[in-house]
């Protein structure tokens, strides 16, 4: 009998990792130990596992080694059983295990499941609603599969999930859960505006990752409700409008990624409250106005990327700006005059720039034809992709031109 012989369950490494990832209060959850529903027979879990094998694994998949004549299913690769209810499966963990096909409803018979970790497989079709009925499930990781369709209501109305990772699928509807600490829906095909309800998930502390979707419209003001959130990534969508100043209410933010959207307007003043922020990436939007001077006072900041926007005016000089290696304020080369510290330009117009020189030359010319050209050239040389960078011959020719222009100015 399955239950009798399964007394020494194996703990495969993957399962151990998956469980180790769970936040510590999971142990509280597990202290309210599941009790077996009356209809469960001792081999319910064995039958459900064999059903999964039949539907998800051919001869190549990791489940192929699950021998149907062996009652020792607790030591099958990827299967972990409960220590107290020794015949009940609490964790399924098969990362990159060549599983394919649609997750069958029989997974809903593994009623003690707390953790399902099946990333990097070729699971497709819809997520079965039966998954949402697993009352003890707190961790669900189906990232990097080919799942499609909507997230079932039974999942999205759940109140017990702490982690759901459905990144890299083709899902097209957003779900949300009350006790969720982390939600990763990146690299899906979510479109339309971000549902406001998402921002009522005040338990979300670890992270919200909606990056690499086709989300559009404005960022709802309600985003300020995520007061415990440490990491927000809404990069690489088509979000437009201004950055809501309520985002400054998310005072626990450590990482803010909004790059690759269509956001415009100024960087909001309340960002001064983001005192714990270590990285802020606003790269490639259409933000305008000045780079706020208060960034100097955000002393935790390690990375600031405001490149490829329409920012103007002087670049602050204190705080993080002292360490140019961590600040990206690149602009398109043609915008260089706006990004250059106006001090350089204005002082040069006053003639101060060459007050050591006795040649009586034209300082404005020297800025325009030498310094600006040189900065443009160095920006071109630092373009991200090699094909955008000029060839060595072109650089040489340009340097010679600049040198000649300079020589001409200085007689
Ligand atoms: C076990 O699997 C073999 C081969 O896949 C099959 O012939 C056999 O009927 C199965 N036995 C049970 C009890 O399911
Ligand atoms: C779940 O288990 C019960 C009892 O073993 C069985 O009758 C039922 O068919 C199973 N459901 C699925 C979806 O496999
Ligand atoms: C889900 O699994 C992938 C692949 O193993 C892993 O990189 C990712 O961190 C997991 N997600 C969570 C939220 O633990
Ligand atoms: C979300 O998932 C993607 C793909 O698996 C991964 O690259 C990313 O780091 C995850 N986000 C977070 C916040 O862990
Ligand atoms: C989103 O940002 C978070 C925090 O910096 C990062 O861990 C994650 O990898 C990013 N997501 C993707 C898909 O790159
Ligand atoms: C960017 O903003 C400027 C005004 O600041 C506007 O003229 C331009 O059309 C905007 N570009 C995009 C792509 O939204
Ligand atoms: C920051 O900006 C540079 C270009 O200025 C870009 O190459 C880079 O990917 C951006 N992001 C980070 C995190 O450095
Ligand atoms: C050059 O500028 C400095 C600072 O403005 C000034 O003190 C100095 O007298 C100037 N030198 C000449 C030769 O004008
Ligand atoms: C210096 O150059 C600027 C711009 O080319 C020009 O307007 C100005 O008249 C020049 N001044 C002198 C003194 O040559």
pLDDT tens readout for residues 73-87: 999 999 999 999 988
Predicted local distance difference test score (pLDDT) of residue 19? 25
Predicted local distance difference test score (pLDDT) of residue 309? 87
Main-chain phi, psi angles of 392, to 5 degrees: -60, -40
Predicted local distance difference test score (pLDDT) of residue 165? 79
Cβ(384) – ligand 7 distance below 6 Å:
yes
Question: Of the given ranges (172-176, 317-321, 334-338), which has the lowest mean pLDDT?
Answer: 334-338
> CATH assignment of 2-336?
3.80.10.10
Binned at pLDDT 50, 70 and 90, residue 311 comes out as confident
CB count within 10 Å of CB 182 equals 22
Q: Measure the CA–CA gap between 291 and 311, rounded to whole angstroms.
A: 7
Q: Which ligand is nearest to the CA of 67?
A: 1
Q: Between these two residues, 55 and 158, which has the higher pLDDT value? A: 55
Mean pLDDT of 332-360: 46
**Cβ–Cβ < 8 Å for 314, 342:** yes
Residue 3, CA distances (Å) to 51, 71, 134, 315, 322 in order: 18, 8, 21, 69, 65
The per-residue pLDDT for range 185-205, each reduced to its tens digit, is 888 777 778 877 778 777 788
pTM for this entry: 0.61
Mean pLDDT of 324-353: 50
**Cβ–Cβ < 8 Å for 26, 162:** yes
Mean pLDDT of 341-366: 48
185, 207, 209, best to mutate for ligand 5 pocket (most atoms within 8 Å of CB): 209
Query: What is the spatial order of strands in the sheet that 100-102 belongs to?
Result: 100-102, 122-125, 146-149, 170-171
Predicted local distance difference test score (pLDDT) of residue 22? 27
Q: Which of 315, 253, 263 is nearest to 284 (CA)?
A: 263
CB count within 10 Å of CB 310 equals 14
Residue 316 DSSP symbol: P
Predicted local distance difference test score (pLDDT) of residue 71? 73
Main-chain phi, psi angles of 339, to 5 degrees: -85, -35
Residue 142, CA distances (Å) to 127, 164, 185, 227, 406 in order: 9, 8, 10, 27, 62
Q: Which ligand is nearest to the CA of 284?
A: 7
Domain ranges of the chain: 2-336, 337-411
The per-residue pLDDT for range 33-51, each reduced to its tens digit, is 344 444 556 688 999 999 9
> What residue's CA is closest to ligand 7, atom 12?
305
CA of 355 to the centre of ligand 8 (A): 6
Question: Of the given ranges (15-24, 237-246, 250-259, 375-384), which has the lowest mean pLDDT?
Answer: 15-24
CA of 13 to the centre of ligand 4 (A): 22
Q: Which ligand is nearest to the CA of 36?
A: 2
Mean pLDDT of 61-70: 80
Which ligand 2 atom minimizes the distance to the CA of 44? Answer: 5
Cβ(257) – ligand 5 distance below 6 Å:
yes
177 has pLDDT over 50: yes
CA of 32 to the centre of ligand 1 (A): 37
Q: Which of 132, 139, 126, 43 is nearest to 91 (CA)?
A: 139
Q: Measure the CA–CA gap between 50 and 53, rounded to whole angstroms.
A: 5
Helix 372-381 and helix 392-409, axial crossing angle in degrees, nearest 10:
170
DSSP notation for 104-132 = PGGGGG-TT--EEE--SSEEEEPPPGGGG
262 has pLDDT over 50: yes
Binned at pLDDT 50, 70 and 90, residue 172 comes out as low
**Cβ–Cβ < 8 Å for 369, 409:** yes
CA of 365 to the centre of ligand 9 (A): 7
Predicted local distance difference test score (pLDDT) of residue 386? 64
CA of 411 to the centre of ligand 8 (A): 21
218, 260, 286, best to mutate for ligand 6 pocket (most atoms within 8 Å of CB): 286
CA of 163 to the centre of ligand 3 (A): 10
Binned at pLDDT 50, 70 and 90, residue 263 comes out as very high
Q: Which ligand is nearest to the CA of 409?
A: 9
Question: Of the given ranges (82-91, 93-102, 253-262, 365-374), which has the lowest mean pLDDT?
Answer: 365-374
Cβ(21) – ligand 3 distance below 6 Å:
yes
Binned at pLDDT 50, 70 and 90, residue 406 comes out as confident
Cβ(394) – ligand 8 distance below 6 Å:
no
Binned at pLDDT 50, 70 and 90, residue 286 comes out as very high
**Cβ–Cβ < 8 Å for 263, 240:** yes
Q: Which ligand is nearest to the CA of 236?
A: 5
Residue 80: its H or E element: strand 79-81
**Cβ–Cβ < 8 Å for 137, 117:** no
What percentage of residues in the chain have a pLDDT greater than 90?
36
25 has pLDDT over 80: no
341 has pLDDT over 70: no
Question: Of the given ranges (39-53, 215-229, 232-246, 328-342), which has the lowest mean pLDDT?
Answer: 328-342
What's the gap between Cα 202 and its chain centre?
18
61 has pLDDT over 90: no
Question: Of the given ranges (168-172, 195-199, 210-214), which has the lowest mean pLDDT?
Answer: 168-172
Cβ(211) – ligand 5 distance below 6 Å:
yes
What percentage of residues in the chain have a pLDDT greater than 70?
72
**Cβ–Cβ < 8 Å for 111, 87:** no
Which ligand 2 atom minimizes the distance to the CA of 108? Answer: 13
Q: Measure the CA–CA gap between 349 and 352, rounded to whole angstroms.
A: 8
Q: Measure the CA–CA gap between 34 and 204, rounded to whole angstroms.
A: 26
Main-chain phi, psi angles of 230, to 5 degrees: -100, -30
Cβ(36) – ligand 2 distance below 6 Å:
no
220 has pLDDT over 50: yes
Q: Measure the CA–CA gap between 318 and 320, rounded to whole angstroms.
A: 6
Predicted local distance difference test score (pLDDT) of residue 18? 26
The per-residue pLDDT for range 358-386, each reduced to its tens digit, is 444 556 666 666 777 777 777 777 666 66
Which ligand 7 atom minimizes the distance to the CA of 329? Answer: 5
């Amino acid at each position: 009998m399955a239950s009798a012989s399964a007394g020494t369950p194996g703990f495969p490494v993957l399962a151990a990792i998956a469980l180790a990832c769970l936040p510590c209060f999971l142990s509280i959850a597990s202290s309210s130990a599941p009790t077996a529903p009356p209809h469960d027979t001792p081999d319910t879990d064995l039958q459900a596992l064999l059903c999964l094998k039949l539907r998800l694994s051919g001869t190549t998949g990791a489940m192929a080694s699950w021998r149907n004549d062996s009652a020792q299913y607790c030591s099958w690769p990827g299967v972990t059983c409960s220590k107290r209810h020794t015949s009940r499966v609490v964790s399924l963990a098969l990362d990159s295990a060549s599983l394919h096909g649609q997750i069958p409803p029989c997974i809903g018979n593994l009623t003690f499941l707390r953790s399902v970790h099946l990333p990097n497989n070729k699971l497709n079709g819809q997520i079965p609603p039966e998954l949402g009925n697993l009352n003890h499930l707190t961790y669900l990781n189906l990232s990097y599969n080919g799942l499609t369709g909507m997230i079932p209501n039974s999942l999205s109305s759940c109140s017990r999930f702490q982690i759901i990772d459905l990144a890299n699928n083709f899902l097209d509807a957003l779900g949300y859960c009350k006790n969720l600490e982390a939600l990763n829906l990146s690299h899906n095909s979510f479109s339309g505006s971000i549902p406001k309800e998402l921002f009522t998930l005040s338990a979300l502390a670890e992270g919200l990752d909606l990056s690499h979707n086709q989300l559009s419209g404005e960022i709802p003001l309600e985003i300020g409700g995520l007061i415990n959130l440490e990491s927000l990534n809404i990069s690489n969508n088509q979000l437009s409008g201004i950055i809501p100043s309520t985002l400054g209410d998310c005072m626990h933010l450590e990482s803010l990624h909004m790059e690759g959207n269509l956001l415009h307007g100024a960087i909001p003043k309340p960002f001064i409250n983001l005192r714990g922020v270590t990285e802020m990436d606003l790269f490639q939007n259409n933000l305008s106005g000045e780079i706020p001077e208060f960034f100097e006072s955000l002393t935790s900041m390690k990375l600031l990327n405001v490149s490829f926007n329409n920012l103007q005016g002087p670049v602050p000089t204190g705080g993080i700006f002292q360490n140019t290696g961590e600040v990206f304020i690149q602009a398109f080369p043609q915008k260089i005059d706006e990004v250059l510290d106006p001090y350089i330009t204005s002082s040069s117009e006053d003639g101060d720039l060459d007050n050591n020189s006795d040649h009586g030359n034209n300082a404005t010319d020297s800025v325009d034809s030498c310094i600006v050209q040189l900065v443009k050239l160095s920006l071109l040389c630092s373009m991200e992709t090699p094909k955008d960078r000029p060839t060595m011959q072109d650089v040489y020719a340009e340097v010679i031109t600049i040198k000649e222009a300079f020589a001409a100015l200085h007689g």
